[in-house]
Amino acid sequence: MSAIFGVINVRHDGGSQAVLGRMRHADRGMEGRRGQIVTTDSAAFGSIDGLTPAQCHQEGLVVVALLGEVRFDSVPLRQHAESFGAAAAVAKAYGALGADCLGQMHGAFAVAIADGGRDRGLIAIDRMAIRSLAFATVDGGIVFGTSAAAVAAHPAVGRRLSRQGIFNFLYCENVPAPGTIFEGVAKLLPGQRVVVEGRSVRKDFYWQLQYCDRSGEPEPALRAEFLRLLRGCVARAAGDGDAGTFLSGGTDSSTVTGILTELRRQPTDTYSIGFDAEGYDEMAYARIAARHFRSRAHEYYVTPGDVAEVIDLIANAYDEPFGNASAVPTYYCAKLAQADGRELLLAGDGGDELFGGNARYAKQKVFETYWRLPGILREGLIEPALLGSPWMDRIAPLRKARSYVQQARVPLPDRLETYNFLEREALAEIFEPEFLTAIDPHQPRDIAREVFFRTTSGTAVNRMMHLDLKETLADNDLRKVNGMCELAGIRVRYPMLDDDLVAFSGRLAPDQKVKGLRLRHFFKESLKGFLPDEIIAKTKHGFGLPFGVWMERDAGLREIAVASLQSFKHRGYVRPAYVDRLLHLHEASHAGYYGVMIWIVMMLERWLDAEQRARVAAEDYAPSGEANMPCARA
């Protein structure tokens, strides 16, 4: 895969400097290659790791590096891209519109522009953050790259681990943007850009999804438009190649499979993962979809031995620690497709977050009902009666009412974290005192609040979906799928996240997405008769890994997990007693539940160990003074 790395800054003599390229040694111990650097009096440009002329362009003192697949609104820009490449079209748009050129660009992309003639620069990512960029502000400009570790390796930044990043990871199972695991390094949010002008650096959003709280559009017309858009988005994602699909048996992957089959008028190759564990295996639904659309189904059952084999491979695949265990089945699914000769898979990610498919949307509607009661009734009668009488826990109906009020009185979005491991007990019982004094325990919730309230909607459903576009997709699912497909050597595209379909979703009223407590009402009604009835009726599941259950009965997995947690105890972040208690609770009670936190801690420890070894190797590698050269991961 390609990567970009660079510096955009203003020199002390008043000129500007841009460096885009891959430097001599690679991040995290991977072998790198020096890019060919072409220098002008104010900019340097590197041709790096497979970037094509369509992704690289230099026009005078303007330098453009582009990753991804961009399409343009205007006909002249589309024609320019066809003739000279997408990067040249970006340069043309930038020349006419400056930083506002991003409004003309659609698709999944990361772009960097250095304008040596006007002492300006720009980096940005697409509206859904399918592509990613990290950056650090330095004297007079920025260091940026597709890898947070590459940015941290620049001598002006310094590769120092962030304790706040470690806490945020343990809280969220990833390091949520805008933070990273490295001090002073940030990630761009969906639809965000960084603009360098002279010696100033500013961040803002060039795009935000517009939500409609009430829709007056006729639903039959909306359904017809939706189906037309779906076909167009799948066709655009599939292109002219021989694309296959991830098929979990859920609504989205089944829809993508069915529409691709309809468009191609021939069977689609589908790739599905199963588990020999009760409550986790969804292969039956994948088979229903495959039969319904007459797909060429390819299946693989992941085993505990498979998990043990790839733990370190997956831990090292990401430039930051990543704790979503479903990365394992995602990797094996992508590997299955790659071994079958596929070069491209279409994934169904995004439908739940755009059309109201996550169970919490319905659950939280129930809790939000509480806030419609008069305040004097809530605070003067209900809460004193239910919360002030511990004996009510002995009576089942009253216990449930008490639990409801306890949860409902916590406002959104904080209520979404009710069952978070780090919210279930006092942080002083989990973390070492020195670690706690160095971090802000409220930061993960503050990040969520900023996104939740930064919407054009005043409704809870739309605000939760807006938060999920960032937290569930950009921070988690897209990083997972992108990383595992890259590791398996295969490309992936997301037709459900096509900009046209995303914009359409905003026009639907909240009650069309979640009608009463029915999830994805509009989506399901639009696809009745196209999708199998069993799939329309099923609940969301996905590629969840039964790690906690398997760890309980598989000696190999248990040995890896216990050894990792014992090692983590000595890093000074958490109290050793908490690690021991976590292992004990896994053995004594809910193996599946506590297995989630064990996996998160284990993956952090494996990543930290690899990071430590890579840092030592980098120092040993460059005795001639090149150890501090910036580096980037392919």
SS3 state of residue 369: helix
Q: What span, in angstroms and rounded, lies between the C-alpha atoms of 506 and 525?
A: 18
Q: Is residue 393 part of a domain?
A: yes
Q: Are 484 and 246 in contact (CB under 8 A)?
A: no
Q: Which of 462, 483, 509 is the last residue of a domain?
A: 462
> Does 561 lie in the same domain as 458?
no
* CA–CA dist 475, 38 (Å, integer): 35
**Residue 22 and residue 56 in contact, taking contact as beta carbons nearer than 8 Å:** no
Q: Label residue 466 exposed, middle or buried (CB < 10 Å: 0-12, 13-18, 19+).
A: buried
- Regarding whether 436 and 565 lie in a shared domain, the answer is no
CB 20 within 8 A of CB 114: yes
- Choosing from 408, 435, 462, the residue where a domain stops is 462
The CA distance from 53 to 38, in Å, is 14
Q: What is the biggest distance separating any 2 CA atoms in the chain, rounded to whole angstroms?
A: 79
Domain presence at residue 15: yes
Question: Which amino acid is it at 401?
Answer: A
- Domains in the chain, number: 3
Tell me which amino acid residue 367 is: F
Q: Evaluate whether residue 615 is within a structural domain.
A: yes
Q: For residue 581, what pLDDT is reported?
A: 95
- Same domain? 151 vs 56: yes
Sheet holding 192-197, edge to edge: 56-59, 62-72, 105-115, 120-125, 192-197, 200-205
CATH of residue 185's domain is 3.60.20.10
Same domain, 142 and 9: yes
Mark whether 455 and 563 lie in a shared domain. no
- The pLDDT of residue 140: 73
538 falls within a domain: no
Sites in the chain below the pLDDT cut of 70: 1-2, 9-54, 540-543, 618-634
Q: Is residue 174 domain-shared with residue 72, that is, in the same domain?
A: yes
Q: Does residue 60 fall inside a structural domain?
A: yes
Nearest 5°: CA angle at 190, between 186 and 195?
60
| Residue type present at position 55 | Q
**Domain termination residue (choose one: 157, 182, 205):** 205
Q: Kindly state whether residue 505 falls inside one of the protein's structural domains.
A: no
- Same domain, yes or no, for 566 and 443? no
Task: For residues 458 and 555, state if they share a domain.
Answer: no
User: Residue 168 falls within a domain, yes or no?
Assistant: yes
Q: What is the reported pLDDT for 5?
A: 74
pLDDT tens across 299-352, in order? 999 999 999 999 999 999 999 999 999 999 999 999 999 999 999 999 999 999
Same domain? 197 vs 82: yes
Q: Which domain holds residue 551?
A: 547-621
Q: Are residues 449 and 586 in the same domain?
A: no
Distance between CA atoms of 446 and 427, rounded to whole angstroms?
17
Give residue 35's pLDDT. 34
Mean of per-residue pLDDT scores for the chain: 88
Report the pLDDT value the prediction gives residue 389, as an integer from 0 to 100: 74
SS (H, E, C) 487-543: HHCCEEECHHHCHHHHHHHHCCCHHHHCECCECCHHHHHHCECCECHHHHHCCCCCC
Residue 496 located in a structural domain: no
Same domain, 36 and 168: yes
Q: Do 568 and 447 fall within a single domain?
A: no
